[in-house]
Amino acid sequence: MFLYVYLVCFYPNYLGEKVNFIKANAAFTPKHIVPEWYFLPFYAMLRCVPAKLDGVLVMGGSIGILFILPLIAPYRVATAYFDKIYQFFF
């Protein structure tokens, strides 16, 4: 406990990342920064689409598809292989 209090009070940045002390630049994103694993698909969608608004629409569409899929064929899961509309949206 004493070691913890000593580190926190006298050396608060001792165990911190060195990257946190680099001066920020709004016009440049460093290559070594990547989002957390749960944001990676959305980050990839934003990078694929050149326009910002289109990227936001693609991200919204990817979430919207998850709400639409159960409504297309809710009780025909076994026959989804033959349903062309379901295959298109999936």
pLDDT of residue 60: 94
- Over residues 73-87, the mean pLDDT reads 67
Least confident of 14-23, 44-53, 55-64, 78-87: 78-87
- Fold of the domain spanning 2-89: Helix Hairpins (1.10.287)
Torsion over CA of 16, 17, 21 and 23, rounded to 10 degrees?
A: -150
pTM, to two decimals = 0.50
Q: Alpha-carbon distance 47 to 71, whole Å?
A: 30
Torsion over CA of 62, 63, 67 and 72, rounded to 10 degrees?
A: 0
Write the CB contacts of 65 (distance below 8 Å, at least 6 apart in sequence): 89
Q: Is the pLDDT of residue 37 over 90?
A: no
